[in-house]
Structure 1
Amino acid sequence: MPDPRRATPRTDAVLADPALLAAAERLGPALVKDAARRAIEQCRQGRVEPGDVVTAALALLPTTATTVRPVVNATGVLVHTNLGRAPLSAAAVEALTEAAGTTDVELDLTTGRRGRRGRGALEALARAVPDAGAVHVVNNGAAALALVTLALAAGREVVVARGELVEIGDGFRIPELLESVGARLREVGTTNRVRLADYAAAVDGGDVAFVLKVHPSNFEVTGFTSSVPVEQLATLPVPVVADIGSGLLAPHPRLPQEPSASATLRAGATVVTASGDKLLGGPQCGLLLGQAELVEGLRRHPFARALRVDKLTLAALEATLTGPVPPVPAGLETDAAALLERARRIVAALGPDVGAEAVPSVAAVGGGGAPGVELASAAVAVDAGWAEPLRTGPTPVLGRAHRGRLLLDLLAVPPSQDDAVVAAVRAVAAGGA
């Protein structure tokens, strides 16, 4: 009998198939050629019939030309750093599509001359924080603080409380960031207590560029503690730079201890720095808000060019500020009873054989914001052993372990993803049966 593997088609013949030609137009020839070669190798091994090579190659193709995969965030962490922090609103996603082509990002269409870059986003930010004399946007929160420090304090001193020399994630630390752009740190107080007199003594007679107030976004110090609010720091004869971290633009009733940009500026801060991809709910960027002359100087600083945001970020930021409420702020307002009802509907859709249960749960803000704040939520509790297969399935679903079960918390899961959760759990339950 002749070996059927001798009928294995040639690579060029497979790539000439109309379905693979269409895939190459969408994904690029490199990905399609790789999938074709793998399918042909499977045919040589006898695992795929010669007539099914094209079908096998199509099955091996990724959905898009990127390795980044969308996941369902059922962890109960509203702003999850490892999952890209804030999910964008539908308006922001649409804005990204609009901005992907050629745009007027730096052109005045009326005059035909060069215009202010990202004017729409900057105007929207200025309207959102009217207490700011001027605003500027850079590529992330750390960059905002670095630009202020480089422009004002290179070769000079920055006064900061010891208890506010924080690590901001992935091993990066505020003091090292400040020193990397040429500032000299003048630490005051102790880990748990600092007084206005400590700042005043450091400022008196020193070459101090500014006093830095850092909100300890990702931890809490409790007990025998004291800190100095911006209102008191503003009485010192030097500027006050406040890094509020999370990007909350106005006070929020559910986050009473989280500083906002507007309240911090009213308290007397000269400049406020913050992130745009946390509680604001927008794309990754750094916000600079404050005294008009100073912020304008930061915008014109030579290093500002290295921190410039692209047109996609500007478009998404503007839509976040002007469009409907983004997912993160909406999540803060979500009613726990409504989440529990959704959880019950998901459990009903799964059926009794799965062993799922709708339970109340406690979620967190995350993303280095509002440590210690508990958000009432609800979850679908399933077998703890399903964590890995759910995480590695066609549609990754990430939950959290709690008391011997896996909780699929719904606070950060939009209702549009409920069917995907049901399908993923059903598939895992069927595979383990």
Structure 2
Amino acid sequence: MDDDNAAGPADPRRRIPRTDALLAHPRVAAAVASLGRSVVLGLIRAAQDRARSGDIAPEAVETELLASLESSRASSLTPVLNATGVVVHTNLGRAPLSPAAQRALADAAGYTDLEFDLVSGARARRGAAARAALLAACPAAEDALVVNNGAAALMLATTALARDAGVAISRGEFVEIGAGFRLSDLIESTGVRLVEVGTTNRTHLEDYERVLGEVAAVLSVHRSNFRIEGFTADADLRELADLCHARDVPLIVDLGSGLLAPEPALPKEPDAASVLAAGADVVIASGDKLLGGPQAGILLGRAEALATLARHPMARAVRADKLTLAALEATLTAGDPPVQQALHTDPQDLRERTETVAYEARSAAMDHAGRVAMVAVLVVEHAGRVGGGGGTGVDLPGWAIALPEAAAAPLRTGTPAVVTRVHEGRCLVDLRCVPQDQDGALADAIGRVLADLSAGRA
């Protein structure tokens, strides 16, 4: 029997609002549309149960429910402020999308003309606009293809072009990235045979030349997340391309980080335009790294090679969806995305902004604590990082707010969630990747933590 029905006439539980009455509230009804009925019903029951147990008054159920709805989201992913100074932070979702790309996602969420020509009423080529945007951004490419991520692009290129004869790769380019993922394992998982050439530190043109008769393609992988220094040698890319073309063997170059054109801030980072000009047949890049867009695998290159990839059965299994295509097109056509802005942040502007947030955080701490917080707040020099396997070893000069290490956890679990860098016993708050319109929220979050630390509550 329900507790409410078992309660006597004077029992306060009889005053707990009924479920159907709460569902009829306009804000609750709107939440059903956005969060789903099952989620809302769970929040209703939670509020009612708190009233039944005496935690809140029955009259507070509606207020409790509305507050819960306000903080609930349809997705369990929690938005965070990236205050680490790492621009392309893999653990935080890599590149944040530009406002234009976010609007494009919303526009593409419903029915779209993804493969439909509105003028003729006939079927059209999928992703034509994103392809055109890529070719405009990288005129050196004759054609382009978009798949769901960089690993899929590499898998498709090596499978479609290497066939059963195998692909040659330098031993110095056997890259392992995060979570133990090895590119060589990915390639071999499709049945493509790897033919290793050279040594870990030195690979010459003649090493490739010796195996071209037994392979169907040559793969060059950018060592994006590590460097080999000292007694080293690599085959010149233009010479390697000439050798491959003389033997009618396609050259695939995996850039990894995703630059389409030279980037002055990262002079040693390879880019698609330069690599294609050097003679590569297919270039692979990621969409959610230095390009600053959604997760995607981008393939650029000669029309004949790209047509081979597009016709391969695997292309269907790894193709990009409408949301990716929409966000990628907007990223390419609507100005500098946040990743590019973060790379080019002026250190002096960043210092002034950091000092302002530090001052406002101290003021917020006084407001929250009712007295001056005794915890030290310093502005210190701090070098940001590119991240995502790009710009290895490149420092991005900047500044950060230095707090006690104990501030990291409460900032990370607060609202908004602020992810910082913990280094040498300090919690460093770097504003490079924090949207400027969030400075006030960040200062208030720091102020609350400072107040709690001063009072011994954190």
Shorter chain as denominator, the TM-score bin is over 0.9
Cα distance in 1, alignment partners of residues 324 and 26 from structure 2: 37
Map Cα deviations across residues 377-424 of structure 1 (whole Å, 9 max, x no partner).
Answer: 111112210111110112100110123211111111121111121121
Map Cα deviations across residues 9-48 of structure 1 (whole Å, 9 max, x no partner).
Answer: 4444443444322322332211111111111121122111
**Unaligned segments of structure 1, at least 5 residues:** none
Cα distance in 1, alignment partners of residues 156 and 219 from structure 2: 13
Structure 1 contact 154–181 (Cα < 8 Å) conserved: no
Cα gap change, 1:303 to 1:138, in 2 (>3 Å): same
For residue 395 of structure 2, what is the aligned residue in structure 1? Answer: 374
Q: Does 2:251 correspond to 1:240? A: yes
For residue 40 of structure 1, what is the aligned residue in structure 2? Answer: 48
For residue 234 of structure 2, what is the aligned residue in structure 1? Answer: 227
Within 5 Å, which residues of 2 pair with 1:17-96?
A: 17-61=25-69, 62-96=71-105
Map Cα deviations across residues 32-70 of structure 1 (whole Å, 9 max, x no partner).
Answer: 111111111211221111111121122233432111121
For residue 164 of structure 1, what is the aligned residue in structure 2? Answer: 173
Give the 3-state SS of the residue equivalent to 1:366 in structure 2.
Answer: coil
Give 1:212's aligned amino acid. Answer: L
Give 1:43's aligned amino acid. Answer: A
Cα distance in 1, alignment partners of residues 408 and 18 from structure 2: 41
**Unaligned segments of structure 2, at least 5 residues:** 1-7, 363-371
For residue 164 of structure 2, what is the aligned residue in structure 1? Answer: 155
Within 5 Å, which residues of 2 pair with 1:278-317?
A: 278-317=289-328
For residue 216 of structure 1, what is the aligned residue in structure 2? Answer: 223
Within 5 Å, which residues of 2 pair with 1:248-267?
A: 248-267=259-278
For residue 106 of structure 1, what is the aligned residue in structure 2? Answer: 115
Number of residue-to-residue matches in the alignment? 431
Q: CA deviation at 1:134?
A: 0.9
Choose which of 378, 382, 391 in structure 2 pairs with 1:361: 382
For residue 330 of structure 1, what is the aligned residue in structure 2? Answer: 341
Cα distance in 2, alignment partners of residues 250 and 300 from structure 1: 27
Structure 2 contact 159–190 (Cα < 8 Å) conserved: yes
Structure 1 contact 283–317 (Cα < 8 Å) conserved: yes
- TM-score calculated relative to the size of structure 2: 0.91
Q: CA deviation at 1:257?
A: 1.4
Q: Judging by fraction of residues, say which structure has more strand.
A: 1
Cα distance in 2, alignment partners of residues 338 and 241 from structure 1: 41
Map Cα deviations across residues 157-180 of structure 1 (whole Å, 9 max, x no partner).
Answer: 111011101113222211111111
Sequence identity, in percent?
53
Q: CA deviation at 1:3?
A: 5.0
- TM-score calculated relative to the size of structure 1: 0.96
Within 5 Å, which residues of 2 pair with 1:194-213?
A: 194-203=203-212, 205-206=213-214, 208-213=215-220
Q: Runs of 4+ in structure 1 displaced over 3 angstroms?
A: 1-19
Cα distance in 2, alignment partners of residues 28 and 253 from structure 1: 48
Q: CA deviation at 1:110?
A: 1.7
Structure 1 contact 289–295 (Cα < 8 Å) conserved: yes
Cα distance in 1, alignment partners of residues 407 and 19 from structure 2: 39
Map Cα deviations across residues 90-124 of structure 1 (whole Å, 9 max, x no partner).
Answer: 11111112212221121112211111112111101
Map Cα deviations across residues 113-161 of structure 1 (whole Å, 9 max, x no partner).
Answer: 1111121111010011111111111111111111111111232211101
Structure 1 vs Structure 2 CA RMSD: 1.6
Cα distance in 1, alignment partners of residues 107 and 330 from structure 2: 11
